[in-house]
Structure 1
Amino acid sequence: MTKKIFGIDLGGTSIKLSVVSTEGDIIDQWSVPTDNKDEGQHIIHDLNQAIDAKMKENNWTNDDILGIGMGSPGVVNREKGTVTGAYNLNWVDEQPVADDIRSYFNADWPIFIENDANVAALGEQWKGAGDHASDVVLVTLGTGVGGGVIVNNQLVVGQGAAGEIGHMFSKEDGRKCTCGKHGCLETVASASGIVWTAGELAYAMDDTGSAIQGRIFNGEKVTSEDIFKAAEAGDIFAEAVVDETMSHLGRALGQIAAVTNPKYILIGGGVANAGQYLLDKVTQHFNESVYPGVGATTHIKLATLGNDAGVYGAASLVMANI
Structure 2
Amino acid sequence: MKPIIGVLLEGKTIKVGKILDGNIIKSCTKIIDNRASKEHVISEVITAIDEVFDKEIEGIGIGVPGLVDLNQGVIYQIQKIPSWKEVHIKDILESRFQVKVYVNNDANCFAVGEKYFGVAKNYENIVGLILGSGVGTGVIFKNHLYSGTNCGAGELGYLQYKEHDFEYYCSTSYFKEKYDLDFKTLYKRAKQDDKIALAIFEQYGQDLGNLIKAILLVADPEIIVIGGAISNAFSFFKKEMFRVVKTFMYKHVLNNLKIVVSENKNIDVLGASALFYDAQNNTLKKY
TM-score over 0.5 (shorter chain): yes
Determine which of 63, 71, 74 is the counterpart of 2:63.
71
Q: Is the 8 A contact 2:204 2:237 kept in 1?
A: no
**Paired position in structure 2 for 1:265:** 224
Partners of 1:234 and 1:3 in 2: CA distance: 48
2:162 paired with 1:136: no
Q: Secondary structure at the match of 2:46?
A: helix
Conservation of the 8 A alpha-carbon contact between 2:202 and 2:237: no
How many residues are treated as equivalent by the alignment?
279
Quote the residue 2:197 is aligned against.
238
- Bigger fraction of residues in strand: 2
Indicate the SS of the match to 1:259.
helix
Per the alignment, in what secondary structure is the counterpart of residue 90 of structure 1? coil
1:39 to 29, 37, 40: 37
Q: 1:68, 1:318 within 8 Å by CA — same for their partners in 2? A: yes
Aligned to 1:165: 156
The residue matched to 1:37 in structure 2 has which SS?
A: coil
**Residue segments in structure 1 that go unaligned for 5+ positions in a row:** 175-182, 200-220
Distance 1:302 1:53 in 2: 31
Matches within 5 A, 1:100-115: 100-105=92-97, 107=98, 109-115=99-105
Aligned to 2:52, which of 43, 51, 54?
54
CA distance in 1, matches of 2:94, 2:36: 22
- Letter matched to residue 147 of structure 1: T
Provide the C-alpha distance between the structure 2 equivalents of 1:260 and 1:3, rounded to a whole number of angstroms: 34
CA-atom RMSD in angstroms: 2.1
Give 1:92 shift. 4.0
Task: Give the secondary-structure state (helix, strand or coil) at the position aligned to 2:58.
Answer: strand
Q: Report which of the two structures shows the higher radius of gyration computed on alpha carbons.
A: 1
Give 1:169's aligned amino acid. Answer: Q
| 3-state SS of paired residue (1:32) | strand
Please list every run of 5 or more consecutive structure 2 residues that lacks an aligned counterpart in the other structure.
281-287
Tell me, yes or no, if structure 1 residue 315 matches structure 2 residue 254: no
Say whether residues 1:224 and 2:183 are aligned partners.
yes
User: Given the two structures, how large is their TM-score scaled by the length of structure 1?
Assistant: 0.80
Q: Is the 8 A contact 1:128 1:304 kept in 2?
A: yes
Counterparts of 2:130 and 2:275, CA distance in 1: 20
State the shift of 1:231 in Å: 4.9
Which of 93, 99, 118 is equivalent to 2:85?
Answer: 93
- C-alpha change, 1:113 and 1:81, in structure 2 (3 Å) is same
Amino acid aligned to 2:57 = I
Looking at structure 2, the residues matched to 223 and 255 of structure 1 have their Cα atoms a distance apart, in angstroms, of 27
Is the partner of 2:36 in helix, strand or coil?
A: helix
